[in-house]
Structure 1
Amino acid sequence: MEARNVEPAHGPGDALDRAVIFIGPPGAGKGTQAKELARLYGVPHLSSGDMFREHVSRGTPLGLKAKPIMDRGDLVPDAIVLEMIEDRIARPDCRHGFVIDGFPRTAAQAERLSELLEHHGMGKPVVIHFVIDRGLLMRRLTGRRMCSVGGEIYNIYDRPSKVPERCDNDGGALIQRYDDSEEVIGPRLKAYDQQTAPLVAYYRKQSVLRDVDAAAGVEEVTRRVMKILRNAR
């Protein structure tokens, strides 16, 4: 669900000209907001997962290093991830800024990313921290349903299909992904908390972190994020 009623930021002084980093737990809406913000500012949306898939599909040296690690389900080492990110932000379309989610995940990664941004003349990033009540988050995640044909995402609580258990677009059966089951989500959120607390502390100490209430509607969250970016100039 996209915030299409928010106007693109194309007025004078509205260029992004910086890196915007989204931090938040699974299901907080980072991906949706990253895509929307990238659209509004006309900058790339960088996702670590997309970068992995691009390098693997192109058969680049980095992709060849990452593929066996990804196939095993292991975490790709920081050195490889950072090389991919440096390769991506060096491209011309990132010259006026970009939005990234899914990275960094640790304070050590954040320090290295800051070095890369400085090297490319981008200065300090703005870090948006998506804050959301855990009960609501569990409801969002366990309520997600995906079309088995086209991949469209629904939610039985706040974005149901017109016909129960059927996709509005193609009539495909709606399924719950295993990753959205309660037994998977609980450990994921616990791991997120343990891993991310030092990252949040690092960016807060740098005075670049801003909290946003992710429980609001998609369009309202987008407006709040844009207000943060305007005030951060």
Structure 2
Amino acid sequence: MADRYSTVLLFGAPGVGKGTQGNILGSIPNLFHLSSGDMFRMLDVDSELGQVFYEYSSRGELVPDDITVQFWQQNIHAHTVLGLYKPASDLLILDGIPRNPKQAQQLNEYIEVQKVIHLKCENENAMIQRMRQRALKENRIDDAREDIISRRWEVYRRQTRPTLEYYPPHLIEEVNAMDSPAKVLSNILQMIIPVMNSLSAC
């Protein structure tokens, strides 16, 4: 198998703060953050792929696996060609992908998962309120609808949560997502820094 990208996955239910933490981590040298949500939001809504994405996301459903992985490949290749992501020295931080065990299996060809950071929250109601407030603040009215948010949680429970079982338990670290963002970041860094050090030593 060709060299794979050294990767840390940010994993968790909708609203736990994967994107927030990923964006902060991506500002740190030798960490490169790629979010599936940002990836798809950059799509031209008039393009064929953009229309497919809108069709699924407007229902709170996941984009089909083959399309998601293909688009992810295109994005990571583009970032590499542009020099924004340097696989030889950068640790890849992924959030929002893989979203089910099949995607995890497909991505295994391209990524070598060093850690899975599980941002854990048992309080679904608190997360739903957080998602609704964030969507309203960002003027994403459709995303603030409770039926769409509830659908996203249902999809997470049914399709995404089982993805954790794909990875060996020793790779999975749990972080309390209800702590302050600063505390969550501190806990994540404690888990990621040893991985970064091991890569730089290679």
What is the aligned-residue RMSD (CA, Å)?
A: 2.8
Amino acid at match of 1:66: L
Structural mapping, 1:8-157, within 5 Å? 18-54=6-42, 56=44, 64-73=47-56, 75-90=62-77, 91=80, 92=83, 93-95=85-87, 96-117=90-111, 123-134=112-123, 135-144=125-134, 146-147=136-137, 151=138
Paired position in structure 2 for 1:225: 188
1:176–1:124: structure 2 CA closer, same or farther, 3 Å change rule? closer
Consecutive unaligned residues of structure 2, counting only runs of 5 or more, are none
Tell me if the contact between 2:9 and 2:113 (Cα under 8 Å) persists in the aligned partners. no
Deviations, residues 12-68 of structure 1 (Å, cap 9, x unaligned) = xxxxx83121111111011100000111234332122333354548x9xxxx55133
Q: 1:54 to 1:81 in 2, by over 3 A?
A: same
Task: Supply the AA of the counterpart residue of 1:224.
Answer: N
Maintained 8 Å contact 1:52/1:66? no
Residue type at the aligned position of 1:78: D
- The answer to whether the 8 A contact 2:7-2:115 is kept is yes
Residue 198 of structure 1 is matched in structure 2 by 162
How far residue 143 of structure 1 moved from its aligned partner, in angstroms, is 4.0
CA deviation map 1:132-160 (0-9, x unaligned): 1324323423444635xxx4xxxxxxxxx
User: Alignment partner for residue 150 of structure 2, among 186, 193, 214?
Assistant: 186
Is the Cα contact below 8 Å between 1:23 and 1:101 reproduced in 2? yes
Q: Give the 3 Å change call, closer, same or farther, for CA 21–68 of structure 1 in structure 2.
A: same
Structure 1 pair 82–211 and aligned structure 2 pair: CA distance change class (3 A)? same
Return closer, same or farther for 1:81/1:207 CA change in 2, 3 Å cut-off: same
Secondary structure, aligned partner of 1:52: helix
Deviation at 1:214, TM superposition (A): 0.5
Higher relative contact order (CA 8 A, sep 6+): 2
The Cα of 1:231 is off from its aligned counterpart by 4.1
Structure 2 Cα separation of the partners of residues 182 and 77 of structure 1: 23
Q: Which residue of 2 aligns with 1:160?
A: none
Query: Structure 1 residues 178 and 70 mapped into 2: Cα distance closer, same or farther (>3 Å)?
Result: closer
Contact 1:18–1:126 (CA<8 Å) still a contact in 2? no
Structure 1 unpaired stretches of 5+? 1-16, 118-122, 152-174
